[in-house]
């Protein structure tokens, strides 16, 4: 692949833009140091024009959140015939949509905390909707990541505030049963678990600050679980990834309780690659240094439609003189 022009897509227009820039910068430096021909492509509303003009052979997706992690950029790359890293359109969309992924978890007998969904327009009826659900609860936008707009609620007034916060980032709001347990993340490559790390946030809740500011969380690798429960967490993560159809490098977030239950919270199809991110920590424990991990992600770049063949698409593009074709 070292003769290929590789574009690293970073930035984006979501609330997670800052983290995407850090992920993209880190991956750019790692791949450049290994001799790859990489360039940064900053993603904005004109990304289609940027991609046409760049004439890249492969795209490394270093985006997070809406339009980058939800199948949108993946669909654009598919139609342009540019192989890309990470999961395909459908798996990206399903994993990003916390309601749909939970429905799939239930279908595949993957345990996940009880939940319900409401819209911003239903907040006036919140007391009635929530009445039988009880407290404590946990609120998050239906789509999104990095704990943006998410947090616990222990009373109706706190729940209302949390829902209003989440509603700023998505018109639909997910309310879960707050389950107390150890926060554990499993890193995977091609659906196979690399290991599990335990997160111990100093503030008690693994929020945005705990995730991205150094010193705000302690990490234990391998996770402090018995061998049987550790293997159980790995197996559960593999089942969750299979349920949504995710491929490439992924991360699954779980809760492991004292009464020997495990719950899957979500599948992340584009895990962060910042200095404090979990996937690089897990991969390091499995023997991958950061450059190895970036290279492993790169070499899995593919098209997910038509078994990776873009020949017919290129022929259609060539017939339209207004759209420059990608070089062979």
DSSP state at residue 84: B
pTM for the full predicted model: 0.88
Q: What is the fold of 104-108+180-298?
A: D-amino Acid Aminotransferase; Chain A, domain 1 (3.30.470)
- Given 146, 210, 277, 310, which residue is catalytic? 146
| pLDDT tens track for 113-145 | 999 999 999 999 999 999 999 999 999 999 876
- Given 212, 230, 263, 288, which residue is catalytic? 212
**146 in catalytic set:** yes
- What's 116-149 look like in SS3? EEEEHHHHHHHHHHHCCCCCCEEEEECCCCCCCC
Distance between CA atoms of 33 and 199, rounded to whole angstroms? Answer: 30
Cis before 72? omega within 30: no
**266 in catalytic set:** yes
| pLDDT tens track for 173-187 | 999 999 999 999 999
**261 in catalytic set:** no
pLDDT at 264 over 90: yes
Q: For residue 277, how far is the Cα from the chain centroid?
A: 12
**Under a CB-based contact definition with an 8 Å cutoff, are residues 237 and 193 in contact?**
yes
The pLDDT of residue 44:
93
In the chain, where the domains are located: 5-85+301-319, 104-108+180-298, 114-177
pLDDT confidence of 148, banded at 50, 70, 90?
confident
**Under a CB-based contact definition with an 8 Å cutoff, are residues 171 and 119 in contact?**
yes
pLDDT confidence of 205, banded at 50, 70, 90?
low
**295 in catalytic set:** no
- Given 11, 14, 16, 248, which residue is catalytic? 16
Q: Which of 212-226, 268-282, 308-322 has the lowest mean pLDDT?
A: 308-322
Distance between CA atoms of 70 and 86, rounded to whole angstroms? Answer: 11
pLDDT at 283 over 70: yes
Class of CATH domain 5-85+301-319: alpha beta
| pLDDT tens track for 24-64 | 999 999 999 999 999 999 999 899 999 999 999 999 999 99
Taking residues 223-252, report their average pLDDT. 97
Which backbone phi and psi does 193 adopt, to 5 degrees?
Answer: -70, 135
Q: Whose CA is closest to 91, among 197, 188, 206, 222?
A: 188
**248 in catalytic set:** no
**268 in catalytic set:** yes
pLDDT at 207 over 90: no
CATH architecture for the domain at 114-177: 2-Layer Sandwich (3.30)
């Amino acid at each position: 692949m070292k003769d290929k022009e590789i574009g690293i897509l970073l930035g984006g227009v979501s609330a997670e833009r800052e983290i995407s820039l850090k992920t993209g910068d880190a991956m750019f430096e790692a791949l450049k140091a290994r001799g790859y021909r990489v360039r940064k492509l900053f993603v904005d509303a004109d990304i289609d024009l940027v991609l046409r003009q760049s004439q890249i052979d492969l795209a490394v997706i270093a985006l997070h959140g809406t339009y980058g992690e939800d199948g949108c950029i993946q669909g654009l790359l598919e139609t342009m015939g540019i192989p890309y890293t990470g999961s395909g359109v459908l798996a990206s969309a399903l994993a990003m949509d916390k309601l749909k992924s939970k429905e799939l978890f239930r279908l595949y007998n993957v345990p996940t905390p009880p939940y319900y969904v409401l819209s911003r327009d239903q907040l006036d009826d919140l007391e009635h909707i929530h009445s039988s659900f009880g407290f404590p609860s946990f609120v998050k936008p239906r789509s999104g990541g990095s704990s943006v707009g998410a947090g616990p609620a222990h009373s109706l007034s706190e729940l209302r505030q949390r829902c209003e916060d989440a509603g700023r980032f998505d018109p639909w709001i997910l309310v879960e049963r707050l389950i107390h347990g150890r926060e554990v993340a499993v890193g995977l490559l091609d659906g196979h678990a690399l290991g599990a790390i335990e997160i111990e946030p100093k503030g008690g809740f693994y929020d945005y600050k705990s995730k991205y500011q150094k010193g705000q969380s302690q990490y234990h690798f391998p996770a402090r679980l018995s061998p049987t429960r550790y293997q159980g967490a790995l197996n559960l993560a593999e089942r969750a990834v299979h349920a949504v159809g995710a491929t490439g490098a992924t991360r699954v977030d779980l809760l492991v309780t004292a009464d020997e239950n495990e719950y899957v919270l979500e599948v992340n199809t584009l895990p962060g690659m910042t200095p404090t991110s979990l996937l690089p920590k897990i991969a390091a424990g499995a023997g991958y240094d950061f450059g190895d991990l970036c290279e492993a992600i790169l070499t899995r770049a593919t098209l997910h439609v038509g078994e990776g063949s873009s020949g017919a698409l290129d022929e259609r593009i060539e017939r339209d003189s207004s759209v420059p074709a990608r070089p062979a």
